[in-house]
């Protein structure tokens, strides 16, 4: 499913996706990593659940071709704390 989401995201013009999973969900973390996810760091949901944050670059994006990836403020909606 993640690979399909990446194809759809690229088709819609997204260069990268922020993908998260619960901190103790190692199976999901493995899938994200196998799809090219780069661990950005830990975070917490609004209800306090610890999560793992990954940046996944979509195939054919300028980032994949060497451009600088977006920072947390570029991929997180304004007004939300990207480190939370």
CATH number for the domain including 39? 3.40.630.30
CA–CA gap between residue 59 and residue 54 (Å, rounded) = 16
Assess if residue 43 is contained within a domain: yes
Number of domains observed in the structure of the chain? 1
Residue-wise pLDDT for 15-72, tens only, equals 888 999 999 999 999 999 998 899 999 999 999 999 999 998 887 655 555 666 555 5
pLDDT at 4: 87
User: What is the band of 78 on the pLDDT scale with cuts at 50, 70, 90?
Assistant: very low
Residue 80 lies in a domain: no
84 domain-assigned: no
User: For residue 24, is it within any domain?
Assistant: yes
Distance in angstroms (rounded) separating the CA atoms of residues 56 and 40: 10
Cα–Cα distance between 22 and 50 in angstroms, integer? 6
Q: Is residue 81 domain-resident?
A: no
Q: What is the extent of the structural domain holding 39?
A: 2-75
CA–CA separation, 43 and 21 (whole Å)? 10
């Amino acid at each position: 499913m993640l690979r399909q989401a990446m194809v759809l995201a690229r088709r819609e013009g997204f260069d990268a996706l922020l993908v998260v999973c619960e901190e103790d969900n190692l199976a999901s973390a493995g899938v994200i990593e196998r799809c090219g996810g780069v661990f950005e760091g830990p975070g917490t949901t609004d209800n306090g659940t610890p999560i793992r944050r990954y940046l996944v670059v979509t195939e054919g994006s300028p980032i994949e071709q060497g451009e600088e990836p977006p920072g947390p403020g570029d991929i997180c909606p304004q007004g939300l704390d990207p480190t939370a």
